[in-house]
Amino acid sequence: MVDNIVFAKLVSGETIIGIKDESEGVVKDVVLVQAMPTHTGSLQIAIVPFGFPFEDEVRGSIRLDHVVYEYKDVPADLANKYVETKSNIRIAGNLGGLGGKSDSGLIL
């Protein structure tokens, strides 16, 4: 897992995940984290490239001075989905139902 993954809120109100680069003062490879209500009244979390729907690559950067809040921890499910989205490599989650909830509510 990448150690410098940041989960943050921007001054615009958007929630993002990306790679924090302190030396350049930016968050790189940015994705949006969006809560989407379902027909049953629950919420699903969608992770999409920041340029979506016009770009489907995870890229770009946002200056750290546009970050208004940085969450203390990145939930493991979100970090895994971020890595999957960025790399197009699927991370094995519950090993075929052994020891994990299969319906995480996370979508791409």
The CATH number for 82's domain is: 2.30.30.100
Let me know if residue 97 belongs to a domain. no
Query: What's the pLDDT score for residue 65?
Result: 96
Let me know if residue 82 belongs to a domain. yes
pLDDT, averaged per 10 consecutive residues of the chain (108 residues), comes to 86 96 96 91 89 89 96 91 82 51 48
Query: What's the pLDDT score for residue 14?
Result: 95
Let me know if residue 98 belongs to a domain. no
Domain limits for position 26: 5-92+103-107
Question: What DSSP state is assigned to residue 92?
Answer: P
Q: Is the peptide bond before 75 cis (omega within 30 degrees of 0)?
A: no
Let me know if residue 71 belongs to a domain. yes
Hey, what's the torsion of the CAs at 15, 18, 19, 23, to 10 degrees?
A: -50
pTM here is 0.76
